[in-house]
Amino acid sequence: MARQRLRAALSPIQLGAGDIHPADCVARWGGMAQGSDRRIPVRRMAWMLRRSAFLCMAATMLSIVVVLAEDGGVKAGEKADAAPITFDTLAGNLPGVVLARSTPYLVVGDIFVPRGTTVRIQAGTVFLFKNFTGLHVLGRLEAKGAKEEPIVFTSEHDRDYNPVEGPDAAPYDWNGVRIHADAVGSSLRYCAVMYSVDGIISDTRFIRIDPCLFVQNGNENLTIEGEVHEVRDQYYRYAISVDDPSVVGVPRDILRDPLARRRSILRYGGLALCAGGCVMGILYSAGYGESRDELRSLSGVDRQNLAANSSGDWERARDKVDGSRGGMLVGWGLLTVGALGFAWTFTF
């Protein structure tokens, strides 16, 4: 298009003495007169204009690249080549098992643990709540996180889980967790409740919080049957003992730690292995030293030893060394396994 316009502008010009073709025209350069030595044919001038335009475009592109390089590339929040983060949205009744995903869930409406059902949430699951949304527990909730993979209930503006441009997370961003009176036996383990209005409000005291973290909640962090619990920004535990005389008409299994029996078995079993392995290791270690010395003495090639002992004596001494060595290794192995099992019981 630019070339066509240039040709149209330089079409044959009527100068009064006849038509003159543009190739025969000359242009003034630098404001000099027509007859000066700086006269340039129009064809050459058109080529110079095209080259100047190309150089201007190249310089412009180079300046843009330099600016981007100095500015560290595309700024946060710009939609250049960065793919937007996509979330699975939640609203309404939760399924029986909420699976942990590589990206958080975005809660766009109130979510519910339905009455008469049990909902289990996997460790590492993250919920981002929009304004005026929350979690209502009418059935039984089992949110079992881990110290390395906690279950997180937080605001959609939490930059740790939603790094996009927008307002920062703050208290009162979402409603919080409401545990209703029928949600007896609900338990939350290694969960974090952050930036909500009321943290957790429970209408029943028959729940377990073992432990949970409460951060930057607006009114209170934890309220159970109207009683506010003093909770700081650290892990907090709450549970009712099965020996509490105020517990009436509630199945004791609900209040017990479901892992307590397994933990006790493993813990005492580990201690037993440690004790047995230690005794066995000490006894066989002593026997191994004696049998090894005996085998060494029977292995001599002097004439007196060869005359007094037979090959059968040497073989029996060797078998005794092998047996003592095996018993020693088994004993110390049992001690190691017992110690590891005992230590592992403190992780759950």
Q: Which residues contact 17 (CB under 8 A, 6 or more apart)?
A: none
Cα 86 from Cα 150, distance rounded (Å):
21
304 shares its domain with 207 = no
Q: What percent of the chain has pLDDT over 70?
A: 70
What pLDDT, on a 0 to 100 scale, did the predictor assign at position 291? 86
Beta partners for residue 106, in sequence order: 89, 128
Average pLDDT estimate for 21-39: 44
Residue 76 within a domain: no
Q: Does one domain contain both 159 and 306?
A: no
Reported confidence tier of residue 78, pLDDT bands at 50, 70, 90: very low
Q: Which domain holds residue 28?
A: 2-70
Q: Are 91 and 107 in contact (CB under 8 A)?
A: yes
Over the stretch 106-121, which tens digit does the pLDDT of each residue have?
Answer: 999 999 999 999 999 9
Q: pTM for this structure?
A: 0.52
Same domain for 112 and 213, yes or no, is: yes
How many angstroms separate the Cα of 59 from the Cα of each of 14, 55, 69? Answer: 39, 6, 15
Give the alpha-carbon dihedral of 261, 95, 128, 225, to 10 degrees. Answer: -60
Residue 254, pLDDT score: 56
Per-residue model confidence as pLDDT tens digits over 205-223: 999 998 899 999 999 999 9
Considering the domain architecture, whether residues 221 and 108 belong to the same structural domain is answered as yes
- Residue 81: inside a domain, yes or no? no
Q: Residues 118, 149: one domain?
A: yes
The reply to whether 314 and 248 lie within a common domain is no
Residue 104 φ/ψ, nearest 5 degrees = -70, 165
- Contact status, residue 48 vs residue 56, Cβ threshold 8 Å: no
Same domain, 254 and 270: no
Of the residues 216, 235, 258, the one at which a domain ends: 258
74-83, 166-175, 177-186, 239-248: range with lowest mean pLDDT: 74-83
